[in-house]
C-alpha cells in the first residue's frame, strides 16, 4: 500500500497550471519538521513536493499561500530522469488525494479550515463565553 500522511507549512505560494486537456494541477512544497533534534538541538525539516489535481488543485490555489499549515494525504511517486549533463536524477513527489487546510482564517490562508479533495469542513461559529449555559450537573461522569 502506497499511502503517506504529512502535516507542515507551505514554503512558497502554490502554482496552478492546466494540462493540455484542461485538467487543473496545483504544485506546492510542504516543510515538515522531524520528530527528533540533531546534535545541535535543532529540529530539522524535510521538504516534500506535492501535486494536487482537478477540484483539489483549484481549492489549494484559491485558499493556500506561503506559510499555510496543511495536512496532505496521498501517495508517493518516484520518477527517474536524465539531466542535461548526462547524469541520472530522481524526483520524489506526493500526489495528494486530500489536502486539509489547518491554518486559522487570516493566518497563512484566507479560507480557514477546510478540506480539498475530501468532504468540505465548514468552520463552526462559537458562541461567546457569556452565552454558554451550564451542563446538567447529574451527568454520571
- Reported as a single tens digit per residue, the pLDDT across 77-120 is 999 999 999 999 999 999 999 999 998 876 654 445 555 655 44
For cell 502554490, name the residue: 14
Nearest to 57 by CA among 31, 30, 19, 27: 27
Look at residue 10 and give its three-state secondary structure.
Answer: strand
Q: What is the pLDDT of residue 104?
A: 80
Structural element, H or E, at residue 59: helix 54-63
User: Domain segments of the chain: what residues?
Assistant: 4-34+44-122
Using alpha carbons only, how large is the chain's radius of gyration in Å?
Answer: 20
Query: Is pLDDT at 137 greater than 60 in this prediction?
Result: yes
Q: Which CATH class is domain 4-34+44-122?
A: mainly beta
Amino acid at each position: 500500500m502506497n499511502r503517506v500522511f504529512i502535516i507542515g507549512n507551505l514554503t512558497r505560494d502554490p502554482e496552478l497550471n492546466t494540462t493540455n486537456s484542461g485538467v487543473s494541477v496545483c504544485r506546492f512544497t510542504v516543510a515538515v519538521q522531524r520528530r527528533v533534534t540533531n546534535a545541535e538541538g535543532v529540529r530539522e525539516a524535510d521538504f516534500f513536493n506535492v501535486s494536487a489535481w482537478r477540484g483539489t488543485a483549484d481549492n489549494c490555489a484559491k485558499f493556500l499561500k506561503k506559510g499555510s499549515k496543511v495536512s496532505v494525504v496521498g501517495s508517493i511517486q518516484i520518477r527517474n530522469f536524465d539531466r542535461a549533463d548526462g547524469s541520472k536524477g530522481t524526483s520524489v513527489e506526493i500526489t495528494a488525494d486530500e489536502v486539509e487546510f489547518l491554518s486559522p482564517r487570516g493566518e497563512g490562508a484566507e479560507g480557514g479550515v477546510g478540506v480539498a479533495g475530501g468532504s468540505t469542513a465548514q468552520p463552526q461559529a462559537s458562541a461567546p463565553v457569556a452565552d454558554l449555559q451550564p451542563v446538567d450537573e447529574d451527568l454520571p461522569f
